[in-house]
Structure 1
Amino acid sequence: MNMKNKSKKEMTHFGFQNVYKDKKTSLVSNIFHAVASQYDLMNDLMSFGIHRMWKQFMIYRSEVYVGCTVLDLAGGTGDLSIQFSRLVGNTGIVVLADINDSMLHIGQKKLRNLGILNNVIYIQADAEALPFSENTFDCVAVSFGLRNFTNKEQALFSMHRVLKPRGKLLILDFGVPTFKVLHKIYDLYSFHILPKIGKCITQDINSYRYLVESIRMHPDQETLKNMIIRTGFNNVEYFNMTFGIAVLHCAYKC
C-alpha cells in the first residue's frame, strides 16, 4: 500500500474536519470532558426538553423487564440507566458504560443521589472493544453516542457479540429531517443559535460547534439501517421522531 492510500484509509471525520483515526477518540474525549458538568442542562436547553420524550420512547420499545441484563452504552450521565434500573428490578443488572470518565462520574453521582445503588454498575469502556463476554446482555442501548464513535461498524460488531441470541439493539441518535422545508430552519438553529447557547452557558462555543457538525456527518436513516444489517442484525426498523430530527433504530440478534 503506498503512503497516499495509507493516509486516506487512516483518516476519518471529526465534525467537518478530517483527522487521523487514532486521534479522533482523544479529540471527542476532550469535548465531553469540557461539557460534562453542564451536559444535562444543555440537553434540556438545546432540545427544549424534547430529548426526554425521545428517550422515553426508546425505553418503551426496549422490551426490558424484571431480571434483564442491560448495557447502557455511551450512557454518559445516566438518563437511560435510571429508567432501565426500575425496569430490571432487584434481580436484573444495568451496566452504565462510557469511554469518558468525566461523564461516567457525573452519571454515577446522579444515580446514587436518586438512591439507585444495587442494580447499576459503572464501567469505563470503548464501544469498539467491549470488555464483556459473548452473549451477556438482553439489551444494548446507545443514546446519542454512535455518531461519536470512530469506527461505527466495529462498534456495532462489538455490540452484536455481547448481545444474547434474540437480544435487542436500540440506537437513538439524530437523523435527517423528513421535510425539506425544515432543513433551512434546522441548519439556522443548529449552526447559529446552539453554539451561542453553549457559549453563554459553558463559555465553550467550539465543543457545541463540533456537536452540531457531528450530527450532519452522521449516517442518514437508511444508511444506518443498512450498516446495522451488515453487522449481523435482523428485523431492523427505525422510527422518526419530531419529523426525523431524532431517530430510533431497533434490531435483534439471531
Structure 2
Amino acid sequence: MASKAENTPSSSAEEGKASQRTLSFGFREVAEEEKQGLVNDVFAKVAARYDQMNDLMSAGLHRLWKDDFVAALNPPKKGACHVLDVAGGTGDIAFRILERGGPEVRVTLADISPQMIMEGRRRARAEQRPLNRLSFTVANAEALPFPDASFDAYTIAFGIRNVPHIEKALAEAWRVLRPGGRFMCLEFSRLDIPLLDALYDAYSFTVIPAVGRVVTGDGAPYRYLVESIRRFPAQRPFARMIEKAGFERVGWRDMTGGVVAMHWGWKI
C-alpha cells in the first residue's frame, strides 16, 4: 500500500498542472478558473444597454437572424413543447418562441448573469409577455440545474462562444434534451468573402468598441465580444464538436455570408 508521503508529489504535480491551464478571453490567455468571472463582469456591465447595442452593432440585422432562427425551430401551434433557451439574456429568443408557438409552448430562460436575467424579467413585464409560460433561471450552461430528458428543444443564441468549456455545454444540452429533441445554436461565425472579410474586421475592431464606449461608457466589453468571435471555431469544426457530444443529423446554414451561422443537431 502506498504511503501518504508517496502520494504527495503526484498530487502536487496534478494540482500544479491544473493551476497552469489557461483559456482564451478574447485574444488574451487567462487562468482557467478566472474566465467565467471575467465573462460575468462583461455582461454585468452591458446588461442595461445590451439590446440597444445589438441594434447599433448589427444595424438591426440581429433581429432578422433571430426571426430566421426561431422560424427554423418552428415551435408547434398545437401541442405541448418545452424549450430551454440558454444564455437567453434579455429574452429576445424566448419572446419570439412564445409569439410563434401555440398556447402550450413554454420557455425556460437560463443565463449565468443575474443582471441579464433581471433585464429579461423587466422586459417581460414591460412588454406584457405571458409569464405563465415563461420562467427565468440563473444557471451555468456547463452544469444545468435540470433533470435528464427535461426539454423538447434547446436553443442558444450568441452565447456559446462565451462558455469557458464549450464541450461541457454541448454535453449538458444533450443530457437535458428528450429523445427526439433538437439542439439549435445561432452564433457569429467565419466570413470567407475576399475584401468583405477585411472590411468586417475593420468595422468590428474600430467601430464597435467606439460605439460601446459612447453608449455604455466603456468600450472594453465590446472589444472582448469582438475578439471572442475571432476565437470561436469555424462552421465545420464546431459542427464536429456537436457530433462529438452525441447529436445526429448535424448541420449548419450560413447567414449574411457567414457572419452568422445557424447550427443544429438531434438527440436520437
Regarding TM over 0.5, the answer is yes
Deviations 1:78-119 (A, max 9, x none): 001111122443323200110000001101111122211210
Partner of 2:53 in structure 1?
42
Contact persistence 2:74–2:101 (CA under 8 A): no
Partner of 2:172 in structure 1?
158
1:115–1:235 Cα change, 3 Å: same
Q: What letter matches 1:189 in structure 2?
A: Y
Distance 2:67 2:232 in 1: 22
Partner of 2:206 in structure 1?
192
Q: Could you tell me the TM-score, scaled by structure 2's length?
A: 0.91
**How far did residue 223 of structure 1 move?**
0.7
Secondary structure in structure 2 of the residue aligned to 1:128: coil
Contact persistence 1:99–1:127 (CA under 8 A): yes
Deviations 1:36-90 (A, max 9, x none): 0000000000000000110111101113214210011000000011111224433
Partner of 2:4 in structure 1?
none
Q: What letter matches 1:149 in structure 2?
A: V
Distance 2:187 2:230 in 1: 11
Q: What letter matches 1:38 in structure 2?
A: R
| Counterpart pick for 1:168 among 182, 186, 191 | 182
Whether 1:86 aligns to 2:123 is no
Deviations 1:122-170 (A, max 9, x none): 0000000011111111110000000000000000000100011111111
Partner of 1:30 in structure 2?
41
Partner of 1:240 in structure 2?
254
| Counterpart pick for 2:123 among 110, 116, 119 | 110
Q: What letter matches 2:68 in structure 1?
A: F
Secondary structure in structure 2 of the residue aligned to 1:135: coil
| Counterpart pick for 2:157 among 132, 139, 143 | 143
Distance 1:114 1:15 in 2: 34
Secondary structure in structure 1 of the residue aligned to 2:182: strand
Q: What letter matches 1:192 in structure 2?
A: T
**How far did residue 176 of structure 1 move?**
0.6
84-93 or 213-222, which moves further after superposition? 84-93
Contact persistence 1:33–1:103 (CA under 8 A): yes
**How far did residue 3 of structure 1 move?**
6.9
Structure 2 residues not aligned, in runs of 5+: 1-9
Identity of aligned residues (%): 39
Contact persistence 1:43–1:51 (CA under 8 A): yes
**How far did residue 180 of structure 1 move?**
2.7
Distance 1:56 1:9 in 2: 42
Contact persistence 1:69–1:88 (CA under 8 A): no
What is the count of residue pairs matched by the alignment? Answer: 254
Secondary structure in structure 2 of the residue aligned to 1:248: strand
Secondary structure in structure 2 of the residue aligned to 1:240: strand
5-14 or 98-107, which moves further after superposition? 5-14
**How far did residue 9 of structure 1 move?**
6.3
Distance 2:187 2:20 in 1: 26
**How far did residue 4 of structure 1 move?**
10
Distance 2:266 2:62 in 1: 24
Taking the TM superposition and a 5 Å limit, the aligned residue runs for 1:206-221 are 206-221=220-235
Deviations 1:17-47 (A, max 9, x none): 1111111111000000000000000000000
| CA RMSD between the two structures | 1.5
Contact persistence 1:89–1:119 (CA under 8 A): no
Whether 1:54 aligns to 2:54 is no
